[in-house]
Amino acid sequence: MAGPSFFADKRNIQVSAGGVPGAVPWMQAVGDDTDVRLAVAEARGTYATAIKLYADLSGELAAKITQEAHRQHLLVWAHATLYPARPSDVVAAGVDSISHACLLVRQPQEHIPSWSEPHPPVALGPFRDGRNPVLAPLFAEMARRGTILDATVWAYSPDTADSSSSPALPPGSCDDTVGGAITGQAYRAGVPIAAGTDNIADWEDPWPDLLNELAELASNARSPSGLCCSQRP
């Protein structure tokens, strides 16, 4: 589920399988006037076991969808920033998991742009040592709630630049090093980490992309003291 502006994205044509993007049960455009109970029920009717919240959603609407999904016994996972909902809004909405550690760099921003607005780059320096003070209370709340961080650090690796499914990152973008530092801070705060990939492995690769993600987590999600992520305080 996402707000209407997301469905201008051409990727939605393919996954809508001949239907109207945003108007099929498995990919729905939602807004403040949506009958959320019906929308969730239609998704559940496709044998979905969870709802993904993608973009162009407020914190209030994310919370409304999450509450109804849980009532209907579905899990909810969401992009860590929903443009305009910031990470703390997404966590407060009660989702079960948030995706993409690099999207957490938006948390300190005073203004979170909407999905259709330009998304200016963020200064990454404050995140590189894995001690960001703005993220600390967010991770404490995630640990309290048991909210999972689906980090997808490998998806931000420069090593994926030649992949047809993952174009090169723009200059100044969050990368696997910064994403790893953020993930390490979350892990040390007690946040459960999922080894998600968010990439399509090359057909010639003999190993699943999951192994790349595990390697990235082992090498980049380190504590400031240099100890690997397995060493909790």
Query: Quick one: pLDDT at residue 93?
Result: 98
Whole-number pLDDT of residue 161? 56
- CB–CB of 148/97 below 8 Å? yes
Instruction: Please give the order of strands across the beta sheet that includes 50-53.
Output: 50-53, 75-79, 97-99, 148-150, 193-194
User: Whole domain around residue 155: which residue ranges?
Assistant: 4-220
Residue 174 contacts by C-beta under 8 Å, 6 or more apart in sequence? Answer: 102, 105, 122, 124, 127, 156
Q: Is residue 79 part of a domain?
A: yes
Q: Is 132 within a domain?
A: yes
Q: Does residue 189 fall inside a structural domain? A: yes
34 is a domain residue:
yes
pLDDT score recorded for residue 17 = 81
Residue 131 identity = R
Q: Is the pLDDT of residue 117 over 80?
A: yes
Q: Match 């894995």 to its residue by tokens.
A: 130
Q: How many domains, in total, are found in the chain?
A: 1
Which pTM was predicted?
A: 0.90
**37-84 tens-digit pLDDT:** 999 999 999 999 999 999 999 999 999 999 999 999 999 999 999 999
What is d(CA 186, CA 193) in angstroms, rounded to the nearest whole number?
Answer: 8
pLDDT one-digit tens code per residue, 160-189: 555 544 556 676 789 999 999 999 999 999
In a domain, 229, yes or no: no
The answer as to whether 232 is a domain residue is no
pLDDT for 138 beyond 50: yes
Q: 174 vs 225, which has greater pLDDT?
A: 174
